[in-house]
Amino acid sequence: MNKPLRRIAIFCGLLVLALLIRDNWLQYVRAEELSSHKSNKRVQIERYASESGNIIVDGKPITGSKLTDDTYFKYKRTHTDGPMWAPVTGYASQAFGSSQIEYLEDDILSGNDDRLFFDRTMAMFTGEKKKGGNVVTTLNGKAQKAAFEGLGNKKGAVAAIDPRTGKILALASTPSYDPSSFAGRTDKDGKAWQTLNADKDKPMLNRALRETYPPGSTFKAVTAAAALEHGVVKNIDAPTDTPEPYLIPLSSTPMKNQHSGCEKASLNEALKVSCNSVFANLGDKVGRDNMVETAEKFGFNDPKIFTPVRASASVYNKEMDRGGNAQSAIGQFDTRATPLQMAMVTAAIANDGKLMKPYMIDKLEAPNLDVLERTEPEEMSQPLSEENAQLVQQMMENVVEKGTGTNAKIDGVTVGGKTGTAQHGENNSERPYAWFISYAKTDQGSPVAVAVVVEDSSGTARDDISGGGLAAPIAKKVMEAVLDGNQ
């Protein structure tokens, strides 16, 4: 071979080698990156080429798939009672992606999970259509409906948990939205998406998991637990040394009470009528570091609470001074909590001091209903001893029987609760938040713990906004729905 031909052959060989290297680089090294790239329409087209599996509540699907006229995107997602279930399911849109369970369990729902490889392979030989698996939730349909309808046109949220297992029974948020309204990729879907995102009331915000509020007097249940756990209170019926007026530490400002009779009130009496002065005093005596310790055992300051949807971290400030700690001990100042967090507090107290990890997915199923994965109850922490938990139960039951929470009474059932009206805005300039936390107890234990927050109570006079008046009746309906289902 002459020299010019040899050079051409070597050059062509190098080109082939470069092509092989490039091809292998794209197919193996960058395969995952390219397959998930936002500009790769083939992935989206394949995703909506077949019917998805469903999200299941009480044995029935609350989602579905609908055949479209689209040339490329054959099926789109549908939702039954979409606004009621949106805080649970999230959305799955051909144009705007997905969220929450629809996003986190997409591999199961689409049928692309590695555990469904055998099903996909068999479908190739049998000619059957590809099918997605199912996500079976822990939700209670009647409790969810009671929560959603109870909130009505109010802005707020409800979280309900089975204290014995950590199963989430209800997760409602209002105002809400219909995920089906923008599931496709038409102009109508685009306009629905833009309208929702422009809404100042934020209907797509999951207030039960992702919004934190000052918990107000509902946090006094945590302070009561801390006072007992750290030995500041040994007898819940003994007088405390709380003066009237009680001055906030490092300040000349007196702590205001909404009720009379708080001077030297016992812990039991103070929780019943919600004495700010007593709990601020106890928070100061427990001390910031011990208050932080107890709050964190309940789940505060933890950014990694997954249900599997991640919840925003609730906050008890680790660096505030004595005055800030005293105010935080009554659920104000820097203290903030999600409704899920306050349901966790209530669940731990109702479960004799043991906090179970909250979860919303019971199991994952293959298309043939074989169980691929099941969630087992898991203990998260022990915020307080069994003895002290039962003392807090006694006090919370006194709140419902004789105190500020009488609107939560249920005939024939023991109910414990705590009301809260949290200040909002600079110098309390905005309408306060109305809170209520509660649990129901039967001979078989406590099957439900609930937290309700009403963020915006339009149509209610400011002086009539209270946890007992607005939030307690909603909690009662949710508890009744769970109890009715357990009979």
Output the pLDDT for position 81: 97
- If you average pLDDT over residues 461-467, what whole number do you get? 53
- If you average pLDDT over residues 101-114, what whole number do you get? 92
Catalytic one of 217, 266, 438, 457: 217
- Lowest mean pLDDT, pick from 32-46, 104-118, 173-187, 379-393: 32-46
Output the pLDDT for position 39: 59
- If you average pLDDT over residues 353-361, what whole number do you get? 98
What confidence category does residue 29 fall into, taking pLDDT thresholds of 50, 70 and 90? Answer: low
How do the domains of the chain map onto residue ranges? 209-360+378-486
Per-residue pLDDT tens digits for 184-196:
989 999 999 999 9
Under CATH, to which class is 209-360+378-486 assigned? alpha beta
One-letter amino acid for residue 418 of the chain: K
Query: Within its chain, how far is the Cα of 393 from the centroid?
Result: 23
Output the pLDDT for position 368: 87
Output the pLDDT for position 163: 98
Angle at 340 (CA atoms; ends 230, 361), nearest 5 degrees:
120
What confidence category does residue 128 fall into, taking pLDDT thresholds of 50, 70 and 90? Answer: low
Confidence check: pLDDT of 43 > 80: no
Output the pLDDT for position 40: 62
Per-residue pLDDT tens digits for 283-318:
999 999 999 999 999 999 999 999 999 999 999 999
- If you average pLDDT over residues 446-456, what whole number do you get? 94
Confidence check: pLDDT of 49 > 80: no
Task: Compare 377 and 73 and report the one with higher pLDDT.
Answer: 377
What confidence category does residue 37 fall into, taking pLDDT thresholds of 50, 70 and 90? Answer: low
- If you average pLDDT over residues 438-459, what whole number do you get? 88
What confidence category does residue 140 fall into, taking pLDDT thresholds of 50, 70 and 90? Answer: very high
What confidence category does residue 340 fall into, taking pLDDT thresholds of 50, 70 and 90? Answer: very high
Quote the mean pLDDT of the chain.
90
Using CA atoms of 172, 333, 358, 108 in order, give the dihedral in degrees to the nearest 10.
Answer: 60
What confidence category does residue 14 fall into, taking pLDDT thresholds of 50, 70 and 90? Answer: confident
Q: Are 451 and 339 in contact, with CB atoms under 8 Å apart?
A: yes
Active site residue 328: no
Output the pLDDT for position 463: 42
